[in-house]
Amino acid sequence: MPGPLHAAGALLFVDEDRAIATRVAEAAGLGALAIERHRFPDGELRLRLPQALPPRVVVWRGLHQPNEKLVELLLVAQTARELGAHDLTLVAPYLGYMRQDMAFRPGESVSQRIVGRFLATLFDAVITVDPHLHRVSSLQAAVPVARATVLSGAPLLAEHIARERGEVVLIGPDEESLQWVASAACLHGWRHAVCHKTRHGDREVDIVLPDVHLAGDAVVLIDDVASSGQTLVRAAELLRAAGARSVDVAVTHALLDEAALARIHQAGVGAFWSTDAVIHPTNAVSIAAAVAGALQV
């Protein structure tokens, strides 16, 4: 049952997100309430929410490995409204299905549009961190909710890089990373540039380094997401060959597995830092305070 803090609202979470969700709830003045989750032998889910909910409810669910989680959100959102919620906010630190924002070949599903509209039927507001948006003007264009908030991990990573390395050169592994590279670099006046990337498949890429002096420099590769790690591997190899004194990596969303991380280090990368927008062994900085601040607005 809701306790004293729930007058301001409640934050619902599943057990795997308990640590960060409860920190955010406390900082935002929300009650933290767990969703009971059971899987039947045939794979179906049974979810159980607290029986009485306040009018304002926040649901914490990152959408990496998103397919099953989208079904969870359908069940949670509709049940929450039946139990008294009138204003529903989704906090999805990683927002899945955003990369496919157009049909590149006839017949392809434009998943960004479909999933975005689906989420907008369930929630009144969405908060996310560094969504993969490149051919749309805003998060609200992709997810047409009444209130759409984008936070960035770049400033948090920049502060961590400054503490760990001091003066560095920031390099983006492709042109799409420029927004994060530039915003992080401007905080400390660091030099920055981006590589040119040609992708031939999910795991096949060609990289051309920018025409800047890198010999003897401490370089940090910075991007929004790392999954297969192939782009970072190739960029790190080229940076080492160009004479970089050190190469580290900083990303908002670490989606890569242990083998991919090992390949990145084998390519000459020292430290690999990520935010806890996705829980991962490389987490070095937290988005909790930024999300709590957005929830208090």
CATH of the domain at 231: 3.40.50.2020
Task: Indicate if 187 and 252 belong to the same structural domain.
Answer: yes
Q: For 99-117, how does the pLDDT look when each residue is reduced to its tens digit (9 = 90+)?
A: 888 888 899 999 999 999 9
pLDDT at 4: 42
Residues 163 and 140 in one domain: no
Residues 148 and 216 in one domain: no
Average pLDDT, the chain: 93
DSSP, collapsed to helix, strand or coil, labels residue 235 as: helix
Residue 248 domain flag: yes
Across the range 84-113, mean pLDDT stands at: 92
Q: Looking at the predicted structure, is the pLDDT value of residue 128 above 70?
A: yes
Using CB atoms within 10 Å of the CB of residue 167, give its burial: 0 to 12 exposed, 13 to 18 middle, 19+ buried. exposed
281 is a domain residue: no
**Domain with 219 in it:** 154-276
Cα–Cα distance between 173 and 160 in angstroms, integer? 19
pLDDT at 2 over 60: no
Q: Which of 37, 59, 58 lies closest to 48 in space, CA to CA?
A: 37
CB 178 within 8 A of CB 154: no
- Whether 93 is in a domain gets the answer yes
Q: Which two tokens stand for residue 172?
A: 């983006």
Is the residue at 38 inside a domain?
Answer: yes
Longest dimension (CA), the chain: 62
CA 79, 81, 84, 88 torsion-angle sign: positive
Contact criterion met (CB below 8 Å) for 123 and 150 = no
Residue appearing with tokens 């990596």: 249
- Please indicate, yes or no, whether residues 177 and 239 belong to a single structural domain of this protein: yes
- Of 197, 234, 253, 280, the active-site residue reads 197
Instruction: Report pLDDT for 147.
Output: 96
Same domain? For 10 and 125 the reply is: yes
Confidence of residue 5 (pLDDT cuts 50, 70, 90): very low
- High-pLDDT (> 90) share of the chain, %: 86
At 254, is the pLDDT very low, low, confident or very high (cuts 50, 70, 90)? very high
Asked if residue 178 belongs to a domain, the reply is yes
Q: Is position 197 annotated as part of the catalytic site?
A: yes
Using CA atoms, how far apart are residues 270 and 293, in angstroms rounded to an integer? 33
Strand spans (E) along 41-86: 45-48, 56-60
Task: Decide if pLDDT at 202 tops 70.
Answer: no
How far from 26 is each of 18, 53, 61, 62, 149, CA to CA, in Å? 12, 17, 17, 19, 20
What integer pLDDT is reported at residue 207 of this predicted model? 87
Q: What is the DSSP letter of 44?
A: -
The Cα–Cα gap between 237 and 270 comes to 12
Residue-level pLDDT at 210: 92
**Are residues 51 and 121 part of one domain?**
yes
Please tell me whether residues 76 and 163 are part of one structural domain.
no
Same domain, 52 and 134: yes
Residue 133: predicted pLDDT: 87
Total structural domains in the chain? 2
- Strand pairing report for 169-172 and 56-60: unpaired
Average pLDDT over residues 56-65: 97
Query: How many residues would you count in the chain?
Result: 297
Residues 127 and 222 in one domain: no
16 shares its domain with 125:
yes
